[in-house]
Chains A and B, each alone.
Chain A
Amino acid sequence: AQSVTQLGSHVSVSEGALVLLRCNYSSSVPPYLFWYVQYPNQGLQLLLKYTSAATLVKGINGFEAEFKKSETSFHLTKPSAHMSDAAEYFCAVTTDTGRRALTFGSGTRLQVQP
């Protein structure tokens, strides 16, 4: 079975500061990893995904994430936060064996201070 752990349920940064949201995964087979974002009163939308091609993955809105097998991590970063980045972010994992469904982490709410 696979799982993800997101460290920090709330993260607050200043506008223009680096954003770092942490995600660690557990999987006995090679994982496929995703970051989704949920803006207030909306459903989730895909930010980026890792599917074993490049370890550094670029997504929408200037976000990127790096797959580190040795650390079982897939942290999300953005060099400079914008007010519009305030949202909840979810890391998710699946594999190409077993059930065809994503397992999500508990989420991290990002606040951006002016």
Chain B
Amino acid sequence: DVKVTQSSRYLVKRTGEKVFLECVQDMDHENMFWYRQDPGLGLRLIYFSYDVKMKEKGDIPEGYSVSREKKERFSLILESASTNQTSMYLCASSLGTGIYNSPLHFGNGTRLTVT
């Protein structure tokens, strides 16, 4: 069974801190994604990657960056955390280039609070 592991379940950071959210998948998936989930807004795509060292902006990339140095790991970076980045962050992965044929596998999420 595919496992997507997010390093922290809960995280509390201060405004202005640099924050790293880590995600690791164990099934050699090419595609990895970062979404944020907010009540009433559903999931919004921040960044995604379809290969090592490749990244693509999603719908709300402002204030975020990503890193994918190894195939199994996809990191989300908040360069200077702000209170409006308080949210649930979900990492996902999928196999291959045909996303419509390959389901997303999600981690359990990291609930980030910025104070």
Contact = CB atoms under 8 A, between A and B. Distances in A.
A104 B43 contact: yes
Contact of B100 (A44, A49, A99, A104): A49
B6 to A, nearest CB: 9
Interface in A40-64: 41-46, 49, 51
Interface residues of A, number: 27
Interface in A83-105: 90, 92, 94-96, 99-105
B106 A101 contact: no
Interface string B64-98: 00000000000000000000000000101000011
B76 to A, nearest CB: 15
A35 B100 CA distance: 12
Contacts of A6: 42
Nearest to B59: A103
A51 B35 CA distance: 23
A44 to B, nearest CB: 5
Interface string B56-68: 1011000000000
Contact of A43 (B50, B58, B90, B103): B90
Given A43-B109, A99-B56, A104-B35, A51 B48 contact: no
Given A32-B100, A90-B43, 12 more contacts: A9-B40, A42-B108, A43-B106, A43-B107, A43-B108, A44-B106, A45-B106, A49-B103, A99-B48, A101-B33, A101-B56, A101-B58
14 contacts: A44-B106, A45-B106, A46-B103, A49-B103, A90-B42, A96-B98, A99-B48, A100-B48, A101-B45, A101-B99, A102-B99, A104-B42, A104-B44, A107-B43
